[in-house]
Structure formats: structure tokens, C-alpha cells
A and B are shown apart, each in its own frame.
Chain A
């Protein structure tokens, strides 16, 4: 029996090590897998274009726990080759534009009070990409991953205001810029 004690001990230790490693690897993969699934299935929209969602209702099943008080504009970006220029008109009430990388981190957010111009201008570039903004108006943002999601949140100030807010929402633009000079 004594011969089996170290055998059992080492096996239990190996089970624990494998369990911890498997658990950690799966957990680390979850955000990227969910973003990948979101970009390819739930938000399978053309890349680098705005999609203007109507107010969330009980039938809105794309993203969990949506806010019914916000208008969402969404752009699935891919800046692997070219910078992406985004513009949007900012209303008088709470508004924000934010970016989410493939690991789901919120890598930037600018709200209506912080924006240095209206319309706001954001140029999204990939890591290591160079871009020079001659106007000085644009926010140059380096995305932590080539792909991800840009989201605009606009507070719905009332049902009566909704048509005007939706009209303003649709003034947002997205365009790929020429490749930066080498």
C-alpha cells in the first residue's frame, strides 16, 4: 500500500495543475471568443460602416442587458490595413463614443462634454500605424486590436424627441482613409 501513496499524491497534484491550467485557458479565451462570435454572427454587418439601431425593446436580443433609454450606433471596425475616420453629430444631452477591442476592454470613451468639436472626428488606427491630422480637430486613437466595435450612446430624452435624435444619429459617417505613407 505504501508504494501507492506517492503515486496517488502525484496524480492528485497533476489533476489540480491540469484543472487550473484548463480553467485559466478557457477563461482567458472567453472574451475573445464572445467578441468573435458577436462580430461574425450577432453583428455580422459590413465592416467600417455605421449601423443605427432603434431603441431597445424586449425583442432586442443581440446584446444582454441593453439600455432602453439609449440610442445605439454601432460600427464593427477593421483597421488592419487602413485608418478609419469616424464623425458624428453630438446632441445637447448625454452622448458618448467608445471603443471595444477583441478582449472586450473599453479602450477609449469621449462624451459630449469632453468632445473638442461638433461634429466630433475620430481617426482609429492599428498598433504601430502612423497618421498625421493636419486639422488638429481629430482624436487619433490607436486600437489595441485590428478588429473591434465602436459604439455611440445617445440618451433618448423623450418619445417626442426620438425622430430628431434618430435623424441626428444617421449623420454619423465612417470612411477608410488612404494607407499611411511608409
Chain B
């Protein structure tokens, strides 16, 4: 039996697809090969759909993280993207923000920087002590907030989750120090509660111009995150 694209037997899209599959895989076979080739094509289609579908599905989160990291801006331990909240965000960044920072404002209003590591590149651990120190960022209002591994605020007896322009105590030289730890500290103590791993958000509302440009944002001074006893 020989198929022909003009044959009345090929009157449905499926028939044509099978024929195209035959053309792709048969390498010019004729005769008996014609009967087997459509099965090869069907097997290939099933393999492509099942395997391709599974790969596409299970690589969603890794791809979101990868693309966000590629297109993001890193300054020391702090990372961000100037496309957050923007209509110009690529689909991967938009999806990442929807999952990790829903209802984030556009850069024209707020810059959100996140830190998951300390200055040495080590992940922030709940059982370690850290000092977050630096000069106040150039912004109308700013805050530093600690989150647990679930991206929510960390339960603690003090109900202290952050420090901001409003309530932080400055050093005599105008700098600030925030102590992130499980055990109480004098000064600006940000309790780590029982969180296993930590992350920080630095929010800059109406920031200065240096924060709007990707190149200056990479070099502008941001708070250091230093592990106590780590240096």
C-alpha cells in the first residue's frame, strides 16, 4: 500500500501529519517500510509529548530562578531587577515576581533588594549572628526586613520584624548597625526566631537617582551583611 498526498485516502490532517512523519523518518524507504514508519512517527510524537512535556513542566522553577539571576543586578549580597513591577518585565521575571513578590511596585516608586547570603556569599543561617551595617541609603524612606525560609515574617516574642527610617537608632557617626540573631543584642536587634534560613529585604521608597540606573546600582554603597566571627 502506497500513500500519496493527493490520494483520497489522505483526507484528514492526521493522515497528512502521518505522511509528513513518514517523510521525516523514512529516509526514502519504500515498500514494506511504509507500513512501519507511521508507527515510528507515532512513537516519536508520544516520546516528544511525554518527555518534552515533563521536562518543560519540571524546569519551570529552575528556569525562573536562572533567568531572574541572569537578568538581575547584584551588588554584594543584594540582588534586584529594575524590571520588577514593570510592564517591560520578561515573562520569566514576571512569573518569578508573582511567586515571590506579588504586588511589588515599579522602580519609579520603589526598589526592592533581597539578600539570601552574607558578604562572603554564604547563605544566611538562622543559628548564626550577623551585623547589617552601613550608611543610610539615599531614599525618602527605607526599611530592612527579615524573612524565614517560607518568605513570611519570623515569629518572635518582641514582635520585631524590621528596622526602618522611622525607628532605627543611628551610631554617632550617622551609620547604623542591625544585629540579626536568635539571642538578644543591645541596640537594633532583629530577632531571627526559630527560622532555619533567613533572607532580608531592603526597600527603598523614592530612592535617589543612583538606584535607577543598572550600572550605578551595581556599585552604589549598600549595607554590608557580616557574619559575626566569620571575619
Contacts and interface: CB of A to CB of B under 8 A. Distances in A.
Contacts of A21: 52, 56
B44 interface: yes
Contacts of A20: 56
A68 interface: yes
Given A14-B48, A58-B152, A64-B152, A94 B141 contact: yes
Nearest to B108: A109
Interface string B188-231: 00000100000001010110000000000000000000000000
Nearest to A38: B102
A19 B56 contact: yes
Interface in A77-109: 93-94, 96, 98, 100, 103-107, 109
A181 interface: no
B55 A19 contact: yes
A27 interface: yes
A105 B93 CA distance: 11
Interface in B127-181: 140-141, 143, 145, 147, 151-156, 159, 161-162, 164, 166-167
A30 to B, nearest CB: 4
B24 A6 contact: yes
Nearest to A56: B153
Given A67-B162, A100-B103, A106-B105, A19 B52 contact: yes
A125 B104 CA distance: 22
B166 A22 contact: no
Contacts of A96: 105, 109, 205
A64 B40 contact: no
Contacts of A59: 155
A27 B65 CA distance: 12
Interface of A: 3, 6-7, 10-11, 14-28, 30-31, 34-35, 38, 56-61, 63-69, 93-94, 96, 98, 100, 103-107, 109, 111, 113, 149, 151, 155-158
Interface of B: 24-25, 27, 29, 40, 44-45, 47-49, 51-53, 55-57, 59-60, 63-64, 85-87, 89, 91-92, 94-95, 97-106, 108-109, 140-141, 143, 145, 147, 151-156, 159, 161-162, 164, 166-167, 193, 201, 203, 205-206
